[in-house]
Amino acid sequence: MKSVILIGFMGSGKSTVGSRLAKRLGYKFIDTDCAIEDVTGLTVERIFSKYGVKRFRGEEALLVTKLAGKDNLVISTGGGLVLSEENVRLLTTNGVFVSLRATADTIMKRVRNKRTRPLLAKGNLRETVTSLLEQRKEAYGIAELTIDVDQLTPEQIVDIIYKYLK
């Protein structure tokens, strides 16, 4: 079966939902941020601070070339991975994109973990979140299923995706 690719903004719940969905489907779970940390031996924060965002996007692109075309994976993507059309093109060949959509208020309550989110570490959090959300609307709009997650538990979201796939 095609892999399921969870996309959406930081704090939308991709990792939590992804690992539970993978269990339910009996698929392997991949979190792209964790995979990049494993491969490079560096935290996401360290990659950003030492080498910059371009290097991180390069690591994402490299990882995507390895995952593209594979079956039976649930992939939780870092929030910026689908900003690359090439990443989307490669993953589309054998993947179903599902977008988890959250409002700025929900996101702000959840993104306290700065370790994996250096893009949110500086400046006013609400302004940064609001402006990035607006910039990325189109990128997240490529999904064939979009779920508004604000009022839902991870289990409810898993259920929706599971039923959609069956």
- Rounded-to-integer distance, Cα 23 and Cα 4, Å: 13
Q: Is residue 87 close enough to count as binding ligand S3P by CB under 6 A?
A: no
Binder to ligand S3P among 13, 18, 79, 95 (CB under 6 A)? 79
Give the Cβ contact number of residue 65 at 10 Å: 11
**Span interacting with ligand S3P, options 22-30, 66-74, 78-86, 145-153, rule CB under 6 A:** 78-86
- Sheet order of strands, 145-148 included: 28-31, 73-76, 3-8, 95-101, 145-148
Closest CA to 98 of 5, 1, 15, 164: 5
Residue with tokens 């979190």: 31
Q: Considering only residues 25 through 44, tell me which ones interact with ligand S3P, judged by CB under 6 A.
A: 33, 44
Asked if residues 98 and 6 have their Cβ atoms less than 8 Å apart, the reply is yes
Give the nearest residue (CB) to ligand S3P: 78
**Span interacting with ligand S3P, options 64-72, 73-81, 90-98, 102-110, rule CB under 6 A:** 73-81
Binder to ligand S3P among 87, 99, 106, 116 (CB under 6 A)? 116
Binder to ligand S3P among 43, 108, 118, 125 (CB under 6 A)? 118
Which ranges of the chain would DSSP assign to H, the alpha helix? 14-25, 32-40, 44-51, 53-67, 85-92, 104-110, 125-140, 154-165
Pattern 1-20, binding to ligand S3P, x per CB under 6 A? ---------x---x------
The answer on whether 41 is annotated among ligand-binding residues is: no
Q: Detail the residues annotated as belonging to a binding site for Mg(2+).
A: 15
Q: Detail the residues annotated as belonging to a binding site.
A: 11-16, 33, 57, 79, 117, 136
* Residues binding ligand S3P (CB under 6 A): 10, 14, 33, 44, 78-80, 116-119
